[in-house]
């Protein structure tokens, strides 16, 4: 029996596009997933999925997102550059946006949906997977605590930050738990352009880390599949199918200030996902 994993890959605020894809995959095509993985800001979408929200509900939450309501500049830290602990904080995002989205942690922890939330444990210097039953709002914000931009989260005496520099999508975990279909929504840019400036170069380092890690994992899967088909010993011992919907999303990873750009990005995800499903000859659910 096929075990299917959904990957909500990290991509900063470009992951609003993922919500449009989820509207199509979950609601219009009825694609069911046995497990879902989230990294960085994509854990927001993962939390909504765990709570049982429909694709339409997740998409509408992003359509209603006004970025200025979640923006907190740490004015007192600006004078400390380059020694500031962070430039921004997630306080207003916690207070305004997460409340508006209606996240219910009791429902998320009680879900029967299997999920892996990825955080990076600075104290232990390792990538950690937090299951839905152990998740909290603090862990969610830790998953989005991008170094330099947001302060780390301290939970039970341990320091956590965004795991995106360690992995953009934790394929290793899904393979270890037996998944053999990997459905990946990838919003990190793959254009391969290098632009000068500290902000540009910070996010280009992020692209370097995530794209190279993904391609390395895909090469391992390809080689394992080749060996498996030839009857040889293979790394994963089974055929692993990979389905990727990748897009260049017209949002900055972080510095976006216009509500309408999020609406447009969600709607772009809807259009692209419908086209992708047709290309892959998937059957749409009957309307009505």
Q: Is the peptide bond preceding residue 131 cis, with omega within 30 degrees of 0?
A: no
Closest CA to 190 of 7, 5, 14, 4: 14
Burial of 39 per CB tally in 10 Å (0-12, 13-18, 19+):
buried
- pLDDT number for residue 288: 65
Consecutive sets of 10 residues in the chain, 288 residues long: mean pLDDT of each? 96 98 98 98 98 98 96 81 84 96 97 98 97 98 96 96 97 98 98 94 96 98 98 98 98 96 98 98 89
Q: From CA 106, how far away is CA 256, in angstroms rounded? A: 31
Give the pLDDT confidence score for residue 194 in this predicted structure.
94
Q: What's the CA gap between 279 and 273, in Å, rounded?
A: 10
b/e per residue, 163-182, with b = 16+ CB within 10 A?
Answer: bbbbbbbbbebbbeeebbbb
H-helix or E-strand spanning residue 260: helix 259-279
**Token pair belonging to 103:** 């996240």
């Amino acid at each position: 029996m096929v075990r299917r994993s959904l990957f909500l890959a990290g991509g900063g605020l470009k992951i609003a596009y993922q919500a449009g894809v989820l509207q199509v995959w979950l609601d219009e095509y009825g694609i069911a997933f046995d497990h879902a993985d989230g990294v960085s800001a994509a854990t927001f979408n993962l939390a909504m999925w765990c709570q049982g929200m429909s694709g339409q509900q997740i998409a509408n939450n992003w359509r209603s997102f006004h970025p200025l309501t979640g923006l907190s500049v740490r004015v007192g830290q600006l004078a400390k550059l380059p020694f500031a602990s962070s430039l921004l904080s997630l306080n207003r995002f916690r207070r305004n946006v997460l409340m508006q989205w209606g996240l219910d942690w009791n429902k998320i922890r009680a879900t029967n949906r299997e999920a892996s939330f990825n955080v990076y444990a600075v104290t232990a210097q390792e990538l950690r997977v937090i299951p839905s039953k152990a998740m909290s709002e603090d862990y969610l914000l830790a998953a989005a605590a991008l170094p330099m931009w947001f302060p780390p989260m301290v939970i039970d005496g341990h320091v956590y930050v965004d795991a995106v520099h360690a992995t953009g999508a934790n394929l290793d975990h899904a393979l270890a738990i037996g998944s053999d279909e990997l459905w990946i929504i990838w919003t990190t840019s793959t254009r391969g352009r290098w632009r000068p400036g500290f902000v540009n170069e910070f996010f280009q380092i992020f692209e370097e880390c995530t794209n190279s890690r993904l391609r390395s994992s895909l090469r391992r899967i390809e080689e394992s599949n080749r060996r498996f088909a030839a009857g040889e010993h293979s790394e994963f011992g089974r055929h692993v199918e990979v389905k990727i919907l990748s897009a260049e999303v017209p949002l900055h990873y972080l510095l976006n200030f216009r509500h309408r750009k999020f609406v447009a990005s969600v709607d772009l995800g809807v259009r692209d996902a419908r086209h992708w499903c047709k290309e892959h000859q998937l059957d749409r659910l009957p309307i009505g």
